[in-house]
Amino acid sequence: MAYLRGIMHCIGTGVVMSVMSYDAYKAAFLSWNSIVTEDPRRLRDPSKIVLAPDVIVALRVLQKYYKLFILAHQPSITVEVSDSAQIAHFHEDVLQRLAHYGVQVEQVISYVKNSLHPFIEVAEERRLDLPGSLCISDRSQDIKLAGQVGARGIYVMSRNSTQTCPDLPPDSLIVVDIWDAVLHAMEMHLIQHRQPALSDIERAAEILREGGIVAFPTETVYGLGANALDPMAVARVFEIKRRPRFDPLIVHVADPRQVNTLVSQLPGQAQKLINLFWPGPLTIVLPKSDRVPDIVTAGLSTVAIRMPDHPVALTLIRRSGVPIAAPSANLFGHVSPTMAEHVYHQLGDAVDLVLNGGRCPIGIESTVISVSDDEAVLLRLGGLPVEELERVIGPVQRHIRTQASPKSPGQLPHHYAPRTPLVLRDRNAPELTRRCGLLSFTEPTSAEGFVAVEVLSKSGDLREAAANLFVALHRLDSMQLELIVAELVPEVGLGQAINDRLRRAAHKGGIGSTGSREVSDESRA
């Protein structure tokens, strides 16, 4: 109960309380009006409620940092929907639809005017950190209630609000829609975690606006970013990375609505994938609009777009005000960076700023898929297992590109390579007379003859293995070894993407080919 000390005596007094224990959760209290597109006061049939796709994605972002609660004001909701069974049905229906999209609402809090403070009881039951929580609503009354318990209020100016400039507690924010609210909420989360500081992200955003280049963390790998709408800035990315101009870049957005300006058409299947998998490690290739410069897409009529699942990346894109074109922040053909140190090591001073956001949690690049009305083609295995995609849109064609069709050069056979020669471990064990390192999936039964061993996951967890893969490769590569022997992992889920990287790192890396590792630009990606 320590976490509630100070709450109870604030009831009715408007006193802000600030005591909270370390193990409490932060909550986001949302009014119905801030998430549904209809005015619930005029609802006769709950099934008529429309959940806008971008609202679903916004809530999926928000729930990563806050537990979600919906505030139901009984009098307003019951004007047309009168009995309590109907109201319960109404709540259940919306909650189920949100759950289908992976949005988990903890509870609908019903309250009537002048009843007990709606947040207090819930906070006690759920061990909520009220001062760390926030309230997103289009009712100034809710924002005031939030202020009474020390929670931050975010007032959404919806079409239903009557007041344009309501009387709000002094630290409240006023935003135009739920997306704005969610991105602010994420910034609050970042302020608390302080790595990197919000002021550094703002500086990075300014650099991007002025045509500069910033390396930034995403949930997959670090990206080397430029304003996607500025061809000169994008040209610098190609130069820094020494990437051939035929290899198009991914454009990163901070919310799904940004996609509309970048594409000429958004097929239904693509919208379905966005609704379910963004933000996340999924890049979707779509017909491009004229707004996207040709240099970004290497002259193709399509553009690859993704919304990263990382608070630093999303805040950077939002604050810069432009979509960000970014390949992985490594030299062309080399191992992707999953730590800021990897970026410094490979690109050094060539970049205007490197935002350090710690280690990338997924650790392997995004899955790339091209989607049209009639077909979906997998262009790169990656952080979202293909089985998950197929569960939603049915069978996906696998397109293995060759050097004869280098439109998606990430598919070229030689890629993701450390400088040290790498071979795959098989029955014909290599002669270990030289300085050899072992890259093992789980703890090896024998590491005899190896001077260094990297274990990807002691417990055999493929997610952990993916997150460790590039870090382990970077480490082995820095040890002046003569050979890296890598073991393949089980070929399921993320294992397919891991093995894809290992096979391509090993391409040309046979025991007899430990001489020069330099390959021509045409064979790298």
Preceding omega of 196 cis (within 30 degrees of 0)? yes
Instruction: Kindly report the backbone phi and psi dihedral angles of residue 141, in degrees, each rounded to the nearest multiple of 5, phi listed first.
Output: -60, -45
> From the list Mg ion, ligand TXA, none, which binds 172 (C-beta under 5 to 8 Å, kind-based)?
none
26 and 15 in contact (C-beta within 8 Å)? no
Interface with ligand TXA, residue 328, by CB under 6 A: yes
221 touching ligand TXA, by CB under 6 A:
yes
Structure tokens at 254: 């901070």
| One-letter amino acid for residue 9 of the chain | H
Among 31, 63, 78, 220, binds ligand TXA (CB under 6 A): 220
Residue 355 tokens, joined: 């935002």
The CA distance from 344 to 347, in Å, is 5
Nearer to Mg ion, 328 or 411 (CB): 328
Nearer to ligand TXA, 41 or 345 (CB): 345
User: Any idea what DSSP says for residue 25?
Assistant: B
- Annotate 137-187 with DSSP letters as a single string: ES-HHHHHHHHHTTPEEEEE--TT-S-SS----TT-EEESSHHHHHHHHHH
169 makes contact, choosing from Mg ion, ligand TXA, none, with CB < 5 to 8 Å by partner type, with none
Write down the least CB distance from residue 399 to ligand TXA, Å.
9
Interface pick for Mg ion out of 31, 258, 328, 468 (rule CB under 5 A): 328
Could you tell me the smallest distance in angstroms from the CB atom of residue 306 to Mg ion? 13
Asked if residues 504 and 401 have their Cβ atoms less than 8 Å apart, the reply is: no
Nearest to 384 by CA among 443, 457, 462, 448: 462
Alpha carbons 19 and 22: distance in angstroms, whole number: 10
Size of the site for ligand TXA (CB under 6 A): 29
Name residues whose C-beta falls within 8 Å of residue 139's C-beta, 6 or more positions apart in sequence.
31, 33, 73, 161
Task: Choose, by CB under 6 A, the member of 248, 279, 421, 509 that binds ligand TXA.
Answer: 248
For residues 273 and 516, give the distance between their C-alpha atoms in angstroms, rounded to a whole number: 43
Interacting positions 337-366 with ligand TXA (CB under 6 A): 365-366
The helix/strand/coil state of 194 is: coil
- Among 49, 198, 300, 488, indicate the residue that binds ligand TXA (CB under 6 A): 300
- Which lies closer to ligand TXA via its Cβ, residue 234 or residue 438? 234
**Is 250 one of the binding residues for ligand TXA (CB under 6 A)?**
yes
Q: According to CB under 6 A, which one of 311, 327, 337, 385 is a site residue for ligand TXA?
A: 327
CB of 336 to Mg ion, least distance (A): 5
Nearer to ligand TXA, 228 or 506 (CB): 228
Examine residue 303 and tell whether it contacts ligand TXA (CB under 6 A).
yes
Contact residues: Mg ion, CB under 5 A: 328
Contact residues: ligand TXA, CB under 6 A: 218, 220-221, 223, 247-250, 283, 285, 297, 300, 302-304, 306, 308, 326-328, 365-366, 368, 379-380, 407-410
